[in-house]
Amino acid sequence: MSHRVLHFRWKAVELLVGLASNTTLPKRLSPRTAADILRALYTLALQDPKAISDQLTNPETLWQYFLLNLDENDPWNKDEQSQILMTNRLLGELQDGVLDTARELMVMNAQPSPRYYLDVLKQKPPVIDLLLECILIEPPHCNPEGTVTYKAMINLAAFFRWPSSMLVPGISAPDEQSMNEKDWKALLQSMQVLTSRKDWSDLIIQGWIRTEPDAEDLEKRNQSIISARLLFSEENFPIDEKELNMDLAITSAQSRVSLLRVITMLTHGADAIGVRNVDIYSLLPMAYCASQNPQDTWEGEICLRPSWTYLQDNYEQDIKPYYVASEKVIGPTAYARLLVALAQRNALKGVQSLRKAPARLSSTTSIAQLHQITHPDVISCFLDIATVRVQSAMEKAEKITGKHGPIASVQARFVWASAGELAAALVTFDDLTGGEYATEEATKTRQILVVVLNKLSAAALGTKKYKQVYYYLLAAVRVSDSIKEPLPDWSAVSDRIKKQVKHVKRIFETQPSADVSLALWLYCSLETAHDK
């Protein structure tokens, strides 16, 4: 990927992304090899445009235009300045391909483990520093399609995947420490690699600002389109502005949810990984903005899986697609989790008494903003909105489930999990604040969470994670028992779930854990309990 000829670098990237997407290469790479490849990719994306500006002006490399399907009679070839601008355009395309390849290497590992990602991040020199630099890349002029900065944000989230061995974030198992201690410890150490970087929260905020282009940014893009048009004849001009705007909207939305996913993950280990109150203050406006109605049509939901997994008979059980919820769900989840982190530290109410900006507060955040978005009335209104978002996610999961098939089943499971994560964050916040911010609408959240946990229990059954079946049911009982004023018919629901717990517990006590017939026993037990 350091070949003198730019086109050959591009061919190497093309080959690598094809292998990552269509083979089992990602899970076969050692952490050291993966880190070496990622380092080379990020370095390639960060190369100085001036260092390669002679690609189409130097006779020794000009010949590559033929391989690039460029027409030598087009205006790009009329003078040296036009040739340099075309090289700019080619560099932008290469940068996008590089970040796509890096993402595929990380997310197409169909059986990921937190330890693996930690080992990649620990390799020297660290890849995380290069990746954070990529977030700040300006798209080269004449490449208005460039989304390298957005794709860098998507790359960042891929390093911090919630362990599949654990329950939905915010829901703990009775013996979670003994069951998932290694995975949890590895995840915390991975997140600490990020939070140990200087100004890490400012970099996330700068990335977020890039997803909300202002008038100046839009003018730059328009000028880039105009300049690109001057490089081609009318019949060869490759940019369709309608498609361009659509592609930018989709990738921008995916980058937004990726940053929100990172923030949400960090809140689950905030104390252990050194997230300070001032970091939370700085990120609050961003999360609050995302918790409101998304501005764009594209919600940004990401669900990626290697193409070869469609051929697997045991697809649903063994494959772990990469999933990030839509902004309608992950936005309020991130905001709720930041509020939870402050409430856990007894620091939420103190925000209202701040009279001057704390040291190291982001320059994009003002005291007035903090006062507004942590005001009790604003939080109460948010809780209502978030409760509705949970219900919308549940409806979406039901619709996907109705499509049948293993792919629909897997996606539905992730949507149920995202609904459960948001509901769990709302319930945790309510517990920490003693119901001080709760409204009539928000009081429904506990009952909703019970329903979601029951659905997740059934989903765990489908993937043969029998302990999770039991733990989700136990969590449902625990939440159900905490409902202070249940609906009149709620006792029947609660009794049914408690019967399910008894049935499943009895099977664990009487059947060998390795017994293949356990799935049938569990299924029959759950169905019998449901009928009763």
In angstroms and rounded to an integer, the radius of gyration of the C-alpha atoms of the chain is 25
pTM confidence score: 0.94
Q: What is the mean pLDDT of the chain?
A: 90
**For 76-90, what is each residue's pLDDT tens digit?**
999 999 999 999 999
Closest CA to 371 of 432, 256, 259, 288: 288
pLDDT average, residue stretch 165-186: 82
For residue 427, the model assigns a pLDDT of 96
For residue 518, pLDDT beyond 60? no
Cα 394 from Cα 388, distance rounded (Å): 10
**For 464-510, what is each residue's pLDDT tens digit?**
787 888 899 999 999 999 998 888 888 888 998 998 888 888 777 77
For residue 170, pLDDT beyond 50? yes
For residue 2, the model assigns a pLDDT of 77
**For 395-409, what is each residue's pLDDT tens digit?**
999 999 888 777 788
Cα 284 from Cα 347, distance rounded (Å): 13
Closest CA to 201 of 277, 310, 125, 138: 277
**For 345-359, what is each residue's pLDDT tens digit?**
999 999 999 999 999
Helix/strand/coil for 322: strand
For residue 306, the model assigns a pLDDT of 83
**pLDDT confidence band for 528 (50 / 70 / 90):** very low
Share of the chain above pLDDT 90, in %: 75
For residue 154, the model assigns a pLDDT of 98
Cα 292–Cα 296–Cα 298 angle in degrees, nearest 5: 110
Phi and psi, residue 450, nearest 5°: -60, -45
CB-based contact 394:419 (threshold 8 Å) = yes
In the chain, domain spans: 1-166+182-273
For residue 43, pLDDT beyond 70? yes
Give the Å distances, CA to CA, from 477 to 98, 306, 431, 523: 48, 37, 16, 19
**For 248-273, what is each residue's pLDDT tens digit?**
999 999 999 999 999 999 999 999 99
Cα 325 from Cα 137, distance rounded (Å): 26
**For 93-152, what is each residue's pLDDT tens digit?**
999 999 999 999 999 988 889 999 999 999 999 999 999 999 999 999 999 999 999 999
pLDDT average, residue stretch 64-78: 94
Phi and psi, residue 329, nearest 5°: -105, -50
